[in-house]
């Protein structure tokens, strides 16, 4: 018996390799598992008593891929493309040894098989999958900036045909058991608990131990190569679509497409070699490091509440009060009720509160139509939402979330009225997006129990919640706030109090820079397209229309009132002021903003922009606009870190990617600075400051970091 694999041989000569990684809920292909698997394969290959082998799992799932913790550090360890190629080849040789050792292998797949787990299955001569909707098969490597590196880009197209394989390889699409059977990825489905017996039954029939691609005369189903009209069209269209989707910021999809194309017109072993070459280039590159570190390692730690204060007992919210039944309040009520929480949804009138519940009902109806929940589950969720206009109904709640208008006086009033009723143990959270929590807590009788919980719209889709600690917020309140975020299955970041906190403050620089460029006479189409070239999901003018120019204008005025005589308006404020005060174009909700919104038609940039802000000549190159948008946001994040608003670089990166869509290829705002290099980043900011103004001025801490050759993430961190 190996450390991670239980090896047994029965009287019929069938060896069973039962993978069981100690101390882990799921099996992953780490170095120990791979070493043990290799030893088992060599043992059975040399044993004349063995007539065949079954690869199975002792856990509730099969294998979920390689160890991401081993992969994420490759770039920081200085791994070269050649070393990445060698890493891929070590897996390729192992799976190829299984395939060609002369003994038939059957995979008894009892659950989820992803990435290297599916590649392990594909290297077996026969595959039995449990007939369970949760037993999905997939190759999600593109989502972490890589491609399958153990034969996935070569075996899957040869099994299913190129066209069928590409959504799995390029988009990470997961296959249900029925889909896997129909496509030929597995040979049969078995009831739960019978996969081992079905695999054994196949082996007892003394099958041939030859993979399809090793048989004489094998051809890729549906054809391959430049002389095949259908596949040529598939690759031409696929290349164009990927270029549009990635803007060449994400190298993995193009590498995967290339590996499939080149590999499928060559002998199988040559195709495996081509795959490893592309894999090595990606693993040794910074983009894969950035994506893996921020989207998986750091996000995974946040989801497990890595920032939760120690020594405080875990809590759950049984009853929640949401003050304000608008879109945001209704969204919070909806996601909370779906998590099993009883919700009191309060507004100024019962009619308004009922309207908020109706919004939740609409969301649930759509979920039912898409098959995500049953009608019975939908009704149970709705039953947990109780609309009310009576503050007395808040008695007995564990948590209050205030989601009323961004007005300090209104927030103070609802805080006082709620605290007069709620129990002493309850904590109070404001969903404000900009107003400092410490100031709002002045209206509270117990500021130590007052925190910020900043949700993002639409709540049901956005996974991030920003927890803000005020000057008097207790560690217990922070811990309980984090427990609630985990309970509703959202991802938390923890930031300290300031105006706009972290996400709103930095996001505001994005929209402000877009408006500033418009005011300078840069063509609006260039501004919007530069954002998309950078990898941002929506241009700054379009997103400003979505949140409404009116809201941005009111926030700016509130900041001016709060900060008094020394306040300086942002560089884009004159544009904002003109649109709200003079042009009455306040955003999408009002029917007009930077864009026109014709009824029944597609939105378009307002032609009148050119009259108000005549295009300057010459226009900047697109890359300059890209730099201004990306650098300004990253620079503001550096200021937040230096001022103590952020305590951890991971919070900056997670917040920027999941909060407003800062490009994932960068790893987030602070990872972007590390990717560029602090010294080079500072030099570029100095140039931008000289060209465009002091908003690009570098804070001393970042300049010192550059001078010392440092980074936000040091290699040993």
Cα separation of 527 and 605, whole Å?
11
Secondary structure (3-state) at 320: strand
Q: Are 105 and 52 spatial neighbours (Cβ–Cβ below 8 Å)?
A: yes
Q: Tell me which DSSP letter residue 298 carries.
A: I
Neighbour-count burial of 396, counting CB atoms closer than 10 A to its CB (0-12 exposed, 13-18 middle, 19+ buried)? middle
Q: What are phi and psi of 292, to 5 degrees?
A: -60, -45
Greatest Cα pair distance, the chain, in angstroms, is: 89
Residue ranges of alpha helices (H) inside 578-692 are 609-612, 622-643, 649-660, 669-676, 678-692
Q: What are phi and psi of 516, to 5 degrees?
A: -65, -45
Secondary structure (3-state) at 491: strand
Closest CA to 481 of 468, 471, 472, 497: 468
Cα separation of 595 and 573, whole Å?
18
Relative to beta strand 595-596, strand 604-605 is antiparallel
Q: What are phi and psi of 248, to 5 degrees?
A: 60, 20
Q: How many C-beta atoms surround the C-beta of residue 422 within 10 A?
A: 22
Structure tokens at 488: 């509703």
Structure tokens at 145: 């900036």
Q: Are 491 and 453 spatial neighbours (Cβ–Cβ below 8 Å)?
A: no
Structure tokens at 218: 């094998």
Secondary structure (3-state) at 368: helix
Name the strands in the sheet holding 14-19, side by side, starting at the edge strand that comes first in the sequence: 5-9, 14-19, 52-57, 105-109, 126-130, 188-190
CB neighbour list of residue 252: distance below 8 Å, 6 or more residues apart? 141, 142, 145, 146, 147, 282, 287, 288
| Active site residues per annotation | 454
Closest CA to 425 of 342, 337, 332, 315: 315
Paired strand residues for 344: 321, 386
Secondary structure (3-state) at 446: coil
Relative to beta strand 450-455, strand 464-469 is antiparallel
Cα separation of 254 and 92, whole Å?
21
Relative to beta strand 105-109, strand 126-130 is parallel
Secondary structure (3-state) at 271: helix
Paired strand residues for 52: 14
CB neighbour list of residue 36: distance below 8 Å, 6 or more residues apart? 2, 3, 4, 5
Q: Are 130 and 113 spatial neighbours (Cβ–Cβ below 8 Å)?
A: no
């Amino acid at each position: 018996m190996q450390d991670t694999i239980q090896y047994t041989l029965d009287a019929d000569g069938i060896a069973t390799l039962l993978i069981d990684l100690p101390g882990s809920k799921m099996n992953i292909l780490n170095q120990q598992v791979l070493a043990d698997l290799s030893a088992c394969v060599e043992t059975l290959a040399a044993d004349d008593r063995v007539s065949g082998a079954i690869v199975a799992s002792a856990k509730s799932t099969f294998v979920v891929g390689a160890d991401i913790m081993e992969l994420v550090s490759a770039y920081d360890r200085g791994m070269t493309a050649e070393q990445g190629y060698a890493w891929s080849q070590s897996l390729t040789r192992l799976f190829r040894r299984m395939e060609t050792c002369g003994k038939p292998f059957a995979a008894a797949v009892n659950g989820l098989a992803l990435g290297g787990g599916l590649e392990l299955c594909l290297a077996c001569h026969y595959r039995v999958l449990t007939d369970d909707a949760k037993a999905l098969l997939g190759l999600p490597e593109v989502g972490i900036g890589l491609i399958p590196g153990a034969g996935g880009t070569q075996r899957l197209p040869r099994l299913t045909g190129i066209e069928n394989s590409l959504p799995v390889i390029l988009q990470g699409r997961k296959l249900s058991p029925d889909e896997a059977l129909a496509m030929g990825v597995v040979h049969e489905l078995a009831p739960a608990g019978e996969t081992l017996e079905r695999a054994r039954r196949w082996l007892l029939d003394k099958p041939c131990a030859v993979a399809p691609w090793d048989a004489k005369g094998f051809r890729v189903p549906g054809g391959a190569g430049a002389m095949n009209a259908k596949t040529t069209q598939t690759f031409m269209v696929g290349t164009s679509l990927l270029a549009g989707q990635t803007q060449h910021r994400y190298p993995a999809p193009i590498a995967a497409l290339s590996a499939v194309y080149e590999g499928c017109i060559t002998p199988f072993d040559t195709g495996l070699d081509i795959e490893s070459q592309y894999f090595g280039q990606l693993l040794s590159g910074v983009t894969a490091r950035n994506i893996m570190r921020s989207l998986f390692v750091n996000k995974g730690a946040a989801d497990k509440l890595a920032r939760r204060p120690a020594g405080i007992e875990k809590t759950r919210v049984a009853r929640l009060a949401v003050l304000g039944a608008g879109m945001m309040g209704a969204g919070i009520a909806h996601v909370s009720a779906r998590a099993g929480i009883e919700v009191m949804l309060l507004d100024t009138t019962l009619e308004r509160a009922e309207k908020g519940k109706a919004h939740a009902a609409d969301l649930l109806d759509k979920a039912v139509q898409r098959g995500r929940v049953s009608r019975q589950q939908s009704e149970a969720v709705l039953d947990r939402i109780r609309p009310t206009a009576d503050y007395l109904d808040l008695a007995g709640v564990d948590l209050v979330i205030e989601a009323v208008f961004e007005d300090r006086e209104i927030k103070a009033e609802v805080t006082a009225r709620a605290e007069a009723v709620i129990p002493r143990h309850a904590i109070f959270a404001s969903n404000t997006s900009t107003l400092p929590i410490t100031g709002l807590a002045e209206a509270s009788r117990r500021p130590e129990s007052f925190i910020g919980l900043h949700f993002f719209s639409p709540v049901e889709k956005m996974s991030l919640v920003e927890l803000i600690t005020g000057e008097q917020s207790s560690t217990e309140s922070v811990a309980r706030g984090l427990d609630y975020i985990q309970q509703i299955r959202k991802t938390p970041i923890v930031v300290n109090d300031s105006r706009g906190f972290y996400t709103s403050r930095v996001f505001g620089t994005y929209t402000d820079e877009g408006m500033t460029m418009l005011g300078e006479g840069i063509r609006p189409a260039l501004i919007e397209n530069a954002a998309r070239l950078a990898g941002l999901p929506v241009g700054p003018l379009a997103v400003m229309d979505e949140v409404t120019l009116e809201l941005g204008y009111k926030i700016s005025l509130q900041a001016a009132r709060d900060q008094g005589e020394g306040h300086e308006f942002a560089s884009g404020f004159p544009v904002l002021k003109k649109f709200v005060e003079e042009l009455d174009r306040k955003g999408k909700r009002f029917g007009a903003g930077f864009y026109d919104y014709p009824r029944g038609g597609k939105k378009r940039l307002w032609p009148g922009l050119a009259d108000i802000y005549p295009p300057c000549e010459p226009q900047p190159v697109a890359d300059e606009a890209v730099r201004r948008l990306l650098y300004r946001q990253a620079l503001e994040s550096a200021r937040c870190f230096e001022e103590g608003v952020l305590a951890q670089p991971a919070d900056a990166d997670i917040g920027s990617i999941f909060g407003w869509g800062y490009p994932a290829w960068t790893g987030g705002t602070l990872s972007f600075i590390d990717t560029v290099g602090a010294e080079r980043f500072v030099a570029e900011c100095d140039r931008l400051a000289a060209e465009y103004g002091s908003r690009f001025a570098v804070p001393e801490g970042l300049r010192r970091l550059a001078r010392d050759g440092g980074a936000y993430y040091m290699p040993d961190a």
